[in-house]
Homo-oligomer: A and B are copies of this chain.
Amino acid sequence: MTTAEAIEQTLARRGYRLTGPRRALLEVMSGLGDHFAADDVVNAAPAVGRATVFRTLKLLQDLDVVCQVVLEDGATAYRLAPDEHHHHLLCVECSEMRDFSSDDLEAVIAEVARRTGFTVEAHRFEVYGRCPACQARTS
């Protein structure tokens, strides 16, 4: 089963309709690489309206099958998300993106909560750097 098909099942299971535009967008997103801008999707699916792209991205975020990534310059990108909670590591040169998760990070958050008395509900963590390949190429 492809990623797109899996997501279609999720939509159906949650009571959303499997429409042509939605299928098309899922197909397109699967082929766009590890992350993409809303505009990339718009361009790759010329038959689907711009508004529908944004509405669909928002829907998929709510369903946790797409996650938002804040790039280093503040721009927004999207990514078909793995199931588990994770964070992003981006190469500032080639834009390669890797997911990672870290129990230690969860511990850090727990410690912050303890120290401040806050109850933590959400967080954002993005790391920017240079991947091994880009280091080798330029150093």
Residues 65-85 of chain A, each 1 if its beta carbon lies under 8 Å from chain B, else 0:
000101010101000000000
Residue of B nearest to A92 (CB): B121
Residue of B nearest to A100 (CB): B112
Residues of B within 8 Å of A115, CB to CB, are 100
Number of copies of chain A assembled together? 2
Whether B124 lies near A130 (C-beta < 8 A) is no
Give, as a whole number of angstroms, the nearest-CB distance from A138 to chain B.
11
Q: Which range holds the interface residue count of chain A?
A: 35 or more
Give, as a whole number of angstroms, the nearest-CB distance from A92 to chain B.
6
Whether B124 lies near A129 (C-beta < 8 A) is no
Whether B89 lies near A116 (C-beta < 8 A) is yes
* Interchain CA distance A131-B104 in the complex, whole Å: 23
Give the interface of A toward B (CB within 8 A). Answer: 68, 70, 72, 74, 76, 89, 91-92, 98, 100, 102, 104-105, 107-109, 111-113, 115-132, 135
